Chains A and B, each alone.
Chain A
Amino acid sequence: MSKILMCGNEVIGEAAVQAGCRHYFGYPITPQNELTAYMARRMEEVGGVFLQSESELAAINMVLGASACGARAMTSSSSPGISLKQEGISYIAGMELPAVVVNVMRGGPGLGNIAPSQSDYFQAVKGGGHGDYRLIVLAPSCSQELYDLTALAFDLADTYRNPVMILADGMLGQMMEPVTLKKINSKRVKKPWVLTGAKNRPARMLRSLFLEAGALEKHNEKLQEKYRRIKAKEVRCETYNISRAEVIVVAYGSSARLTKAAVKMAEERGIKAGYIKPITLWPFPEEVFINEKDKDKRYLVVEMNEGQMVEDVERCAGDRKRVSFYGHAGGWIPQVEDIFKRIKKLV
């Protein structure tokens, strides 16, 4: 199949359309505006629903409503807007509804700036909203992954009745890169819980409120059981040369692109280096670290933030002294040479 050149935000939109998403609700925010505009155009073409909502709060709740009625629904935003969506995300998780939420991250905190950033890792992976819930978090690092993982997100959301987040950033969203728009064979998941009107069947109820004694505890246990299933089945991660490497660089998304080049540079200079690129940030590829028997190996975590995923690497590596961090917040993008220098220092 031939490649085409598209901006990352549009790639996400096209993947959603190909995956059968016909309901998109969103509110403008840079650097993801191309996605909103693309969906406005494409939904018209395919007979879907596009609605520019009055706020990010409204958008996520429109997704909630559309999903409750059985639609593959999506919303997208960037960091400050994703903060506003957290209430709805928590409800969607509690009500066990499928939904796809795209975060094209920018610099924070607050209004921050519009430069690429990875500062919302904690928010995406550790909760964001209230309550003991988990998002499945997918971290693409190139346009092809934007396409493939967005399509996958809809399948995972339906399969597990759980919100899925695409955690991209302004660099991936704005960049144009060749991409193959493969035909997507979406999973057809039965939804016997959908609200359609109680015709010839008992009435259905979708809720996250459980006031009866012990009911919420039971509901949480059910959620946890689901999260364990997801952890067992859905971890995705790319590794390179980790068995022979002395230094393993850990990075996801945009910083993983740079990391790959830095590892290559190190190898060319005779340094034994490898990398781990988590594709699912939750569930986190814990086993890769836990199974590593060689306690002399060093990890270098590279993030476009002040150190967030590094806490998960420390936890899984079991020894903080073996883990180093390289990163800054505020729109900073690491240079390949600088990552290489840090690899070199660790040998």
Chain B
Amino acid sequence: MREEIIAAGFGGQGVMLIGKILAYAGMLEGKQVTYFPSYGAEVRGGTANSTTIISTAEIPTPISSHPDVLLAMNSPSCKKFGSRLKKGGLLIANTSLIEDVFKRSDLTIMKIPATSLAHDLGNKRSANMIMIGAYLKYKAIVSLKSVEKAFSIFLPGKKDFWDINKKALRLGMEYEGR
């Protein structure tokens, strides 16, 4: 088993956190994992992205040229990384900020208005968790339990903040997208 996941969006949408949480959850389940952020000038202002690889074998490189999964939080990143998705790959698109979803017949595409759902939930910043939830629904690559555990590492904070993010995860898992 080997899964390469790119999460991409604007700086501030929490795409780095998506990558870290998935990697940590994978590690908790005894998998080999790597996490690689985009860094430097690229991060500030432009698109930010992170690459997470979860595998049962040693991971030679943390960089993915043809990912299995793309969690696209905005339009530019959907265009930039969508074309690189593997044949048969999975695209989860945040349709709140992506009008024209990349068209490729060889992909499974899930559309989810993560930003508006998060807004309705009362915390705009939990859109990234809704994206993780949607991903877990399609692929049980890691368990919800492990993801929630990873939370406590990267989001040490107030209980109500945790609760809203847990809700966001479930919201993503329950959403019926096309």
Q: CB within 8 Å of B: which residues of A?
A: 3, 5, 7, 30-31, 114, 170-171, 174-178, 254, 257-258, 260-262, 333, 335-336
Contacts and interface: CB of A to CB of B under 8 A. Distances in A.
A169 to B, nearest CB: 12
B33 A178 contact: yes
B62 A5 contact: no
A175 B35 contact: yes
B20 interface: yes
Contact of A5 (B20, B40, B65): B20
Given A3-B27, A5-B23, A333-B63, A174 B39 contact: yes
Interface in B37-81: 37, 39-41, 58-63, 65
4 closest residue pairs by CB, A with B: A261-B60, A176-B35, A114-B40, A175-B62
Given A257-B60, A258-B61, A177 B33 contact: yes
29 contacts: A5-B24, A5-B27, A5-B35, A5-B153, A7-B37, A30-B39, A31-B39, A31-B40, A114-B39, A114-B41, A171-B36, A171-B61, A171-B62, A171-B63, A174-B36, A174-B37, A174-B39, A175-B35, A176-B20, A176-B23, A178-B32, A257-B60, A257-B61, A258-B61, A260-B60, A261-B58, A261-B60, A333-B63, A336-B60
Given A5-B33, A114-B39, A178-B32, 6 more contacts: A5-B27, A175-B34, A175-B62, A176-B34, A177-B62, A260-B58
A313 to B, nearest CB: 21
Specify which of B33, B40, B41, B58 lies most central, judged by the most chain A CB atoms within 10 Å of its CB: B40
Interface string B75-117: 0000000000000000000000000000000000000000000
A202 B132 CA distance: 68
Interface of B: 20, 23-24, 27, 32-37, 39-41, 58-63, 65, 153
A140 to B, nearest CB: 14
B58 A178 contact: no
A256 to B, nearest CB: 9
Nearest to A178: B27
Contacts of B59: 177, 257
Nearest to B154: A5
Nearest to B40: A114
B36 A176 contact: yes
A262 B60 CA distance: 9
A257 B60 CA distance: 5
Nearest to B51: A175
A320 to B, nearest CB: 28
B56 to A, nearest CB: 14
Contacts of B32: 178
B40 A336 contact: no
Contacts of B34: 175-177
Contacts of A261: 58, 60
A335 B24 contact: no
A281 B107 CA distance: 45
A74 to B, nearest CB: 22
Contacts of A254: 61
Contacts of A335: 65
Contacts of A5: 20, 23-24, 27, 33, 35, 153
Nearest to B38: A174
Contacts of B153: 5
Nearest to A3: B27
Nearest to B61: A258
Contacts of A178: 27, 32-33
B162 to A, nearest CB: 19
Contacts of A258: 60-61
A261 B33 CA distance: 15
A175 B39 CA distance: 11
Contacts of B62: 171, 175, 177
A261 B34 CA distance: 15
Specify which of B34, B41, B58, B61 lies most central, judged by the most chain A CB atoms within 10 Å of its CB: B61
A260 B23 CA distance: 22
A260 B58 CA distance: 9
A333 to B, nearest CB: 6
A178 B37 CA distance: 15
Nearest to A33: B39
Contacts of B24: 5
Contacts of A177: 33-35, 59, 62
Contacts of B61: 171, 254, 257-258, 333, 336
